[in-house]
A = this chain, B = another copy of it.
Amino acid sequence: MGSRLTARYRVRGEASTIEHRAFCIALEQSVEVTLEAVHSPTILSEIVGRVDEIEDRGDGWFDVAIGLATATIGADAGQLVNMLFGNSSMQDDVHLVDIEIPDELCAAFGGPRQGSDALRRRVGARGRALTASALKPQGLAAFELAALAFQLASGGADFVKDDHGIADQAYSPFAERVRACAAATRKGAAIAGHTTRYVPSLSGAFQDLERQVALARDEGIDTIMVAPMIIGLSNFQALRQSYPDLAFLAHPAMIGAARIAPLVHAKLFRLLGADAFIFPSYGGRFGYSTQTCAGMADALRAPWKTLEACLPVPAGGMTLDRVPEILDFYGPESMLLIGGSLLASPRGTLTAETGKFVRAVAEHDYGSKQ
């Protein structure tokens, strides 16, 4: 038996149906199909999510512990969070409230390479809390941020970090800022007679992060800050592996990324260059309303400055018999995605069922909607 990690979800529900709901979450976060589409005994026993515990928390809330196969994750941080909450993040009756990690995943990810003792050693602090401050506001030039760093260091702070919004802006380019702030921090620290570490904030895609680390190292910097939810968990993981000698401060920006409307993601993904965007349609497993879906489709397709249209791909529990209704709703400028319900066709009928799907789309009469 392969090892499992445990995801603990807090789920709104009723006592009479919570077992079924828990099982649906276990499917969603593992095989993402109904059991009819699982034909392999090994997948049933080794891969399908397992409901380990259901606890009634009162007031219509239940804690559901689900064992997810470690084998589905490998050792990629993005895939870890994908399997923990990727699809369920879109179901608003489910919260991810805790995780338990098996030994092999723990070893694979490895945790802090430096840890809190090494942070203490960097600034020679024992038996007391460490001190830190931030360089801001946004908009200051490199030399102005450096002047602040000088004062904070000469006051004796242990760590002086960039504000998390300070990136590589034209008014304070990363290279210029890091050189100026590192030098100012050294000067201030010499006056205070105390070691102060300047902690630059990194941003951008992976090659930007690598370039920034190289610039920081040239200044003797050994402690940096990143916002893992902004740079991407997999990038954070890769940085950690590439630079085990650096200490990393994690910033929480976007960890509450809670309440971004689906509409905003539709716009963001089109802006960034998605040619098509798969989203959970109304009437499927996810709670999006027809209004939300129409708004997203419109945001993807409607003329928007100079941008190409991005094709809406309604999905998430679509079925063959709903094709006409879905097409009437989204029109021909769309892509229909039917996965699980096709794959749940009786053995030997998948090609024929796909053919039905294809014909239903090809032959649909859009009528007055055209």
Contacts and interface: CB of A to CB of B under 8 A. Distances in A.
A238 B48 CA distance: 34
18 contacts: A30-B165, A40-B144, A71-B171, A74-B167, A79-B230, A82-B165, A82-B167, A89-B258, A99-B264, A101-B267, A118-B275, A129-B336, A148-B350, A157-B358, A205-B232, A235-B235, A249-B277, A252-B280
B278 A351 contact: no
Given A81-B268, A252-B265, A358-B156, A72 B169 contact: yes
B247 A275 contact: yes
Contacts of A42: 139
B306 A354 contact: no
B167 A131 contact: no
A217 B98 CA distance: 40
Tell me which of A31, A95, A134 has the highest count of chain B C-beta atoms within 10 A of its own C-beta.
A134
A204 B81 CA distance: 12
Interface stretch (A16-24, A51-59, A176-184, A326-334): A326-334
A262 B99 CA distance: 12
Given A42-B139, A81-B268, A306-B111, A273 B240 contact: yes
B276 A136 contact: no
Interface in A221-243: 225, 227-238, 240
The A interface, classified by DSSP as helix, strand, loop or mixed, is mixed
Given A82-B227, A87-B253, A353 B155 contact: yes
A293 interface: no
Nearest to A102: B305
A72 B138 contact: yes
A106 B208 contact: no
Contact of A72 (B139, B155, B159, B330): B139
A21 to B, nearest CB: 15
Interface in A299-334: 301, 304-311, 313, 315, 327, 330-334
Contacts of A238: 205-207
B206 A170 contact: no
A225 to B, nearest CB: 8
Given A137-B33, A237-B205, A129 B364 contact: yes
A1 interface: no
Contact of A337 (B106, B133, B278, B332): B133
